[in-house]
């Protein structure tokens, strides 16, 4: 059933769904797909830019959010953090040196007081500890860090909300949310490079220089050679383990999806007696994840062993050289201790730099998703000099309108009609005919490819978007409610509305008394997307929300398509209140719901093929009459009813069933009339054949034989 514009508008190709696509066509998990697409985008831009520097410059778009441009206090904090980092680098040089001095003082290699040297050493260690400079740096950095991640996420969220419908229709909500969350990765990447990589690089350079000066160039060469070999082996091992790691992550997500599907689909699993199947299925994916995780961990164990051997070999070579120099009197025992301390300090930076490339690559892949979104521009925007809409009644006109979602396949072709203010217009036709698209264009979720849409004589592309949508109220087929209270969901149409205004809107929507019957009344939470409400309750809350908005133009889509007869009657009453005196557009498949429309437009293949009122279209005996007869007349397989004639065409006289509600559990026999007067029905129970008393005043219908003559 065709979807009208709801808040998220479903799919961009609502009127032209590619049925060839199915979940089984692509075995990738959503996580794998996102990773692959981002990696491909990154590789493509690297090829286009030619080098990493040019590629990295494209991420400067994030700089205004990561750097506190307008916050002088935060900028001062960043400067102080840089000072703390310099102090920490100095301490990393002084501590090993001071430990050597302490050792020499204890061995009487110098004439210093060992107690004083120990106190100096302890003071330096305290200053470099988590209770000293590091604590101060973290305290200064925390507000900057939260500002960066918060500002970037807020900017990304605002940007996404202001993008056009074509973007939201083409992207899944999970992809968008993951991209917004990746703003944290951008902040982490900046922090990692600026406040970890740079200080560690400085530490390593200083260590190389200091050791070369103290023990000679050979000690420095040993340190450099060990570092290069360590980083080479580490990066090679990480590269070899990348595919295994990806397999592990894929197995993790597969386990998550199977578990989630089984729990969410518990009713289906239970009703089909497939609990055992789901247990076996879940056990299989758990075992798969365990085996792949073990492969990764074993790989890391081997990699760590090789890295340790490289460091040990370098340490032994440096230590043998230092011992030789000590025995030859070229160095002191304290300097030997200093060498060992420096080697211990080198381990952490080497491990960090070994994984830095992998981590930055991962963060860039995630940031690529956000970068792509931030570079996306809305296609439906206010024109320069757009003026507020001057609403004078609600006259709507489509003039030679053409539209295509992808600029290739036309969805609407040469649409022309004019709707006077206060008129109710219904669009009918097969699914995919283009009915929902017409309403999307009217609400300007898309702009026409050709032609013009006029509202009170003004091209809707020339008026301010906010002022246009302020005049339009939408009641979609599947309303979207937030996981909040009924009060807040209704008030969403007018955030400053009083409680009394909300009550009046709900009374008009025939839902007030039912809400009061809930345990928490208007404070009842409706659950995600309103799942705690029945279909009729959900629809009437959406109608109350539209009533509270007091729109001048109303857009309805199959508002009663999925409810029972009694609920449908209540919703119709609420809709009458909503639409009274307003220009109303209705998308409908059940023609019985739009018989009283002032004007009916039949759409087929993106074109208007018929227009008129119900009686006139029936007499025209065209597409509308064909649709009407298909919905009203139902011929049973064993029927031998005689043929009847409609406008010269012979048809079999069927057993007549008024199919006004597909949810009816019994047949409703009725006499068919082309008159727009609603039919009152006598229901016959299908079990025992006894008549049930109708729940409304019965309308006297002509005899079936008379009706045949009338038809």
- Spatial contact of 13 and 405, defined as CB atoms under 8 Å apart: yes
Element (H, E) at 424: strand 424-428
Concatenate the DSSP letters of all residues of 360-371 into one string.
Answer: HHHHHHHHHHHH
Residue 404: pLDDT band by 50, 70, 90 thresholds?
very high
pLDDT at 636 over 80: no
Q: Which of 41-50, 317-326, 427-436 has the lowest mean pLDDT?
A: 41-50
> Comparing 21 with 525, which gets the higher pLDDT?
525
What the chain holds in terms of domains, given with CATH numbers, is 27-375 (1.20.1560.10), 481-550 (3.40.50.300), 633-711 (no CATH)
> Comparing 43 with 71, which gets the higher pLDDT?
71
Average pLDDT, stretch 78-83? 90
Cα dihedral: 568, 570, 571, 574 (round 10): 160
pLDDT at position 27: 56
pLDDT at position 46: 67
pLDDT at 510 over 70: yes
Highest-scoring range by mean pLDDT, 238-252, 355-369, 373-387, 642-656: 373-387
Residue 249: pLDDT band by 50, 70, 90 thresholds?
confident
Residue 30: pLDDT band by 50, 70, 90 thresholds?
low
Whose CA is closest to 683, among 700, 697, 666, 698?
Answer: 666
Highest-scoring range by mean pLDDT, 161-165, 193-197, 234-238: 161-165
Q: What percent of the chain has pLDDT over 90?
A: 28
Residue 250: pLDDT band by 50, 70, 90 thresholds?
confident
Q: Is 407 left (phi over 0), alpha (psi -120 to 50) or beta?
A: left
Residue 425: pLDDT band by 50, 70, 90 thresholds?
very high
pLDDT at position 697: 37
pLDDT at position 388: 93
| pLDDT tens-digit map of 449-458 | 999 999 999 9
pLDDT at position 23: 37
Average pLDDT, stretch 272-280? 92
pLDDT at position 356: 76
pLDDT at position 52: 66
DSSP symbol at 587: E
pLDDT at 690 over 60: no
pLDDT at position 548: 92
pLDDT at position 651: 41
pLDDT at position 42: 67
Would the pTM count as exceeding 0.85?
A: no
Residue with tokens 């003071």: 123
| pLDDT tens-digit map of 164-212 | 888 888 887 777 887 787 767 777 777 777 777 888 888 888 888 888 8
SS3 per residue for 628-694? HHHHHECCCCCCCCCEEEECCEEEECCCECCCCCCCCCCCEECCCCCCCCCCCCEEECCCCCCECCC
Q: Which of 2-16, 105-119, 353-367, 424-438 has the lowest mean pLDDT?
A: 2-16
Average pLDDT, stretch 274-303? 90
What are the C-alpha distances in Å from 397 to residues 281, 354, 550? 57, 66, 22
Residue 564: pLDDT band by 50, 70, 90 thresholds?
low
DSSP β-ladder status, 410-419 and 396-404: antiparallel
pLDDT at position 333: 87
* CA gap 189, 147 in Å, rounded: 15
Residue 71: pLDDT band by 50, 70, 90 thresholds?
confident
Average pLDDT, stretch 340-350? 82
pLDDT at position 646: 38
Tokens found for residue 80: 């102080």
Q: Which of 235-244, 456-465, 670-679 has the lowest mean pLDDT?
A: 670-679
> Comparing 610 with 559, which gets the higher pLDDT?
610
* CA gap 235, 251 in Å, rounded: 24
Average pLDDT, stretch 281-290? 93
pLDDT at 674 over 60: no
pLDDT at 709 over 60: no
pLDDT at position 480: 87
| pLDDT tens-digit map of 137-159 | 889 988 888 888 788 888 888 99
- Spatial contact of 110 and 104, defined as CB atoms under 8 Å apart: yes
Q: What are phi and psi of 573, to 5 degrees?
A: -65, -40
- Spatial contact of 255 and 286, defined as CB atoms under 8 Å apart: yes
pLDDT at position 602: 94
pLDDT at 92 over 90: no
Residue 344: pLDDT band by 50, 70, 90 thresholds?
confident
Q: Which of 10-19, 120-129, 320-329 has the lowest mean pLDDT?
A: 10-19
Residue 465: pLDDT band by 50, 70, 90 thresholds?
very high
Q: What are phi and psi of 22, to 5 degrees?
A: -145, 160
Average pLDDT, stretch 569-589? 84
- Spatial contact of 553 and 582, defined as CB atoms under 8 Å apart: yes
Tokens found for residue 431: 């699914």
pLDDT at position 109: 63
pLDDT at position 561: 61
pLDDT, averaged across the chain: 78
pLDDT at position 563: 62
């Amino acid at each position: 059933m065709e979807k009208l514009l709801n808040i998220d508008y479903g799919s961009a190709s609502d009127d032209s769904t590619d049925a060839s696509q199915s979940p089984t066509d692509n075995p990738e998990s959503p996580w794998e797909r996102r990773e692959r697409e981002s990696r491909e985008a990154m590789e493509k831009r690297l090829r286009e830019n030619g080098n990493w520097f040019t590629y990295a410059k494209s991420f400067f778009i994030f700089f205004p959010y990561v750097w506190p441009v307008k916050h002088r206090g935060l900028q001062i904090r960043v400067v102080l953090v840089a000072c703390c980092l310099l102090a920490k680098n100095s301490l990393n040089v002084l501590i090993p040196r001071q430990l050597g001095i302490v050792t020499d003082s204890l061995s009487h290699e110098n004439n210093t007081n060992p107690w004083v040297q120990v106190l100096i050493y302890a003071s330096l260690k305290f200053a470099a500890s988590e209770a000293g400079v590091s604590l101060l740096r973290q305290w200064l950095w925390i507000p900057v860090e939260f500002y960066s991640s918060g500002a970037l996420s807020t900017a990304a969220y605002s940007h996404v909300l202001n993008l056009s419908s074509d973007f939201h229709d083409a992207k899944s909500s999970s992809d968008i949310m993951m991209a917004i969350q990746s703003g944290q990765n951008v902040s982490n990447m900046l922090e990692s490079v600026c406040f970890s990589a740079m200080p560690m690089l400085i530490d390593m350079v200083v260590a190389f220089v200091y050791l070369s000066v103290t023990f000679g160039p050979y000690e420095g060469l040993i340190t450099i050679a060990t570092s290069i070999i360590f980083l080479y082996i580490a990066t090679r091992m990480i590269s070899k383990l990348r595919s295994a790691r990806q397999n592990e992550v894929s197995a993790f997500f597969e386990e998550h999806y199977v578990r989630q599907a089984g729990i969410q689909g518990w009713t289906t699993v239970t009703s089909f007696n497939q609990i055992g199947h789901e247990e076996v299925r879940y056990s299989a994916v758990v075992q798969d994840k365990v085996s792949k995780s073990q492969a990764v961990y074993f790989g890391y164990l081997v990699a760590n062993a090789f890295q340790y051997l490289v460091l040990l070999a370098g340490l032994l070579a440096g230590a043998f050289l230092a011992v030789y120099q000590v025995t030859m009197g070229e160095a002191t025992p304290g300097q030997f201790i200093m060498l060992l301390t420096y080697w211990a300090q080198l381990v952490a930076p080497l491990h960090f730099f070994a994984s830095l490339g992998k981590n930055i690559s991962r963060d860039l892949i995630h940031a690529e998703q956000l970068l792509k979104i931030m570079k996306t521009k809305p296609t439906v925007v206010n024109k320069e000099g757009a003026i507020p809409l001057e609403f004078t009644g609600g006259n709507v006109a489509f003039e030679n309108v053409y539209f295509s979602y992808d600029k290739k396949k036309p969805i609407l072709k040469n649409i022309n009609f004019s709707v006077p203010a206060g008129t109710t217009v219904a669009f009918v036709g097969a699914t995919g005919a283009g009915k929902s698209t017409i309403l999307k264009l009217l609400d300007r979720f898309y702009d026409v490819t050709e032609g013009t849409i006029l509202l009170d004589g003004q091209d809707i592309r020339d008026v301010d978007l906010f002022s246009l949508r302020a005049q339009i109220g939408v009641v979609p087929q599947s309303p979207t409610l937030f996981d909040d209270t009924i009060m807040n969901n209704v008030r969403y149409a007018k955030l400053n509305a009083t409680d009394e205004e909300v009550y009046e809107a709900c009374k008009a929507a025939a839902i007030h008394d039912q809400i009061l019957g809930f345990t928490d009344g208007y404070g009842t939470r409706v659950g995600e997307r309103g799942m705690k409400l029945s279909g009729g309750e959900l629809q009437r809350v959406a109608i109350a929300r539209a009533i509270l908005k007091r729109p001048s133009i109303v857009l309805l889509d199959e508002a009663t398509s999925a409810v029972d007869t009694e609920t449908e009657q209540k919703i119709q009453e609420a809709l009458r209140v909503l639409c009274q005196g307003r220009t109303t557009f209705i998308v409908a498949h059940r023609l019985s719901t739009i018989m009283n429309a002032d004007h009916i437009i039949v759409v087929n293949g993106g074109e208007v093929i018929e227009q008129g009122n119900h009686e006139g279209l029936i007499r025209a005996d065209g597409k509308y009459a064909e649709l009407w007869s298909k919905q009203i007349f139902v011929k049973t397989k064993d029927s031998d009813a005689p043929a009847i004639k409609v406008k010269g065409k012979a048809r079999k006289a069927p057993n007549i069933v008024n199919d006004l509600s597909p949810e009816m559990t019994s047949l409703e026999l009725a006499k068919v009339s082309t008159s727009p007067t609603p039919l009152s029905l006598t229901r016959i129970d299908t079990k025992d054949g006894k008549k049930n008393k109708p729940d409304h005043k019965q309308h006297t219908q002509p005899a079936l034989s008379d009706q045949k003559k009338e038809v």
